[in-house]
Structure 1
Amino acid sequence: MLIDASRSLFLLVDVQEGLGPVMAEPRQVYRNCALLLRAAARLDVPVLASEQYPKGLGATMGELRGLLPEGAAMEKLHFSCAADPAIAERVRQSGRDQIVVAGIEAHVCVTQTALGFKAAGFQVFVAHDACSSRLAVNHAVAMARLAANGIDVMPTESVVFEWLHRAGTAEFKDLIALIK
């Protein structure tokens, strides 16, 4: 199954000031999440961003917060975005049946979110190089578990190129400049 921009929603999970810096490979996660946010904006893919207990863990990382659409950030206490009533309702209201997920921590909130939305009937894709955990082994185990449970685990660039669908468009020219 390919990702279709007209059917997709991008969900950024908990890439927050108090969590991001202690993850394995945080710069890679920020760079790839930023690419997904820019691609989503260019291709009219709706965006939501969860913030796990922002009072204690801070807001979405500043460099990513500036790329979020107005009203995209949503506070949560559940580990799974699918278990949070307000976030789950916003996802349903989007009318999209595909969800691209990225964020932290891969083995907790990302995994629970992806499995929860799959159980709710959505097609779920996880950009593995836009996710992290404090320990690289936890990230690796999470990605294997997601794949074993029918979640498509793929690189960020694959998400962007599937959203684009073809070369030669103005959108392609804009986004390829960000990838190179």
Structure 2
Amino acid sequence: MDATRSSLLIIDVQEKLYPACEAPDQIISNCCFLVTCANRLGVPVIVTEQYPKGLGHTAKAISDLLEKPGDTSKGGNVVSKVSFSAIPADGFVEKIEESPGRDQVVVTGMETHVCVLQTVMDLIERGREVYVVADAVTSRSGHDKIFGLERMRDAGAKIVTRESVMFEWLRVAGTPEFKELSALIK
């Protein structure tokens, strides 16, 4: 993974959905960790919301880290959808292709075996290099998460952890970015 080639995609971590999934607090924390890293390293962040009228909006801890009006220093493009894959959602493809040269997509969210899986499969089909963050995805049941991850790996996605993402994006120690972000895991 390369910070200059990556986008971070957070799929459907929403108010009424995440409490029903396994390890919701860990997923929120790990997504926030990755958004913080992305913001510091200039990696664009795209967020999807599945039927927000019924499932609510993105968890507050995550949305608080996203771009605010007039603040161009952070990522944070929110796309509403009703399809399970984000690809057909109005504006999603434009958001993912907004920054030329960003052919890698680091994916987090829920549910692993539904919206994450279908989006990942479609991104791979569109020629993207996809990294699924195993400790930042979840489903309502553990076996659904396991089989979703296996299927994505079989399709060509790379399964990684949040720390792998951070250290690969950083590339070297001793920089101000390294000092700031490595403090998050101590």
Quickly name the TM-score band, shorter chain normalised: over 0.9
Q: Which residue of 2 aligns with 1:86?
A: 91
Contact 1:15 1:61 survives alignment (8 Å): yes
Q: Which residue of 2 aligns with 1:125?
A: 131
User: Which of 49, 52, 56 is residue 51 of structure 1 equivalent to?
Assistant: 49
Contact 2:7 2:106 survives alignment (8 Å): yes
Contact 1:83 1:116 survives alignment (8 Å): no
User: Which of 6, 9, 13 is residue 8 of structure 1 equivalent to?
Assistant: 6
Secondary structure in 2 matching 1:153: strand
Give the structure with the higher percent helix. Answer: 1
Q: Which residue of 2 aligns with 1:165?
A: 171
Q: Which residue of 1 aligns with 2:147?
A: 141
Contact 2:2 2:168 survives alignment (8 Å): yes
Residue deviations 1:32-68, cap 9 Å, x none? 1000000000000000100001000000001111011
Q: Percentage identity across aligned positions?
A: 44
TM-score, structure 1 normalization: 0.96
Structure 1 gaps of 5+ residues are none
Q: d(CA) in 2 for partners of 1:82 and 1:126?
A: 16
Q: Which residue of 2 aligns with 1:21?
A: 19
Deviation at 1:85, TM superposition (A): 3.9
Contact 1:17 1:61 survives alignment (8 Å): yes
TM-score, structure 2 normalization: 0.93
Q: Which residue of 1 aligns with 2:157?
A: 151
Deviation at 1:83, TM superposition (A): 2.5
Off by >4 Å, runs of 4+ in structure 1: none
User: Which of 11, 28, 31 is residue 30 of structure 1 equivalent to?
Assistant: 28
Structure 2 gaps of 5+ residues are 69-75
Secondary structure in 2 matching 1:127: strand
Give aligned pairs, total: 178
Deviation at 1:9, TM superposition (A): 0.4
Deviation at 1:99, TM superposition (A): 0.4
Deviation at 1:73, TM superposition (A): 1.4
Q: d(CA) in 2 for partners of 1:60 and 1:161?
A: 26
